[in-house]
Amino acid sequence: MQIKRLREAAKLKQYELAELMGVKQSSVCAWELGQAYPSAENIMKLARILRCSTDAVLGYDSASA
C-alpha cells in the first residue's frame, strides 16, 4: 500500500483524509502502517480522493503521485 506517500503528495493530513473518507483517523493510520487494510470500496474512495488509480493505492503503479 502506498497510502501515506499518496496522502503526503496530496498535501493532506491523516485527519483530513479520514474526514474525506468518512472513517476514523486511526483507520487511516492503521492502513498506512500495514496493520489493517481498506475495503475494496475504501480503496476506490482513496483513489478518487488522492486522484490516482487503485493500482497506485495498492502499490502496483510506481509512476503515480
Tell me which residue range forms the domain holding 12. 3-58
pTM: 0.88
Task: Match 496493520 to its residue by C-alpha cell.
Answer: 35
Q: What CATH number should be reported for the domain holding residue 10?
A: 1.10.260.40
Q: For 7, how many CA atoms within 13 A lie in the half-sphere containing its CB?
A: 22
3-15 residue pLDDT tens: 999 999 999 999 9
Identify the pLDDT of residue 40: 97
Residue 29: inside a domain: yes
What interhelical angle do 40-50 and 14-21 show, nearest 10?
120
Residue 63: inside a domain: no
How many C-beta neighbours within 10 Å does residue 58 have? 16
Number of domains composing the chain = 1
Residue 27: inside a domain: yes
29-60 residue pLDDT tens: 999 999 999 999 999 999 999 999 999 999 99
Measured CA to CA, the distance from residue 34 to residue 11 in angstroms comes to: 21
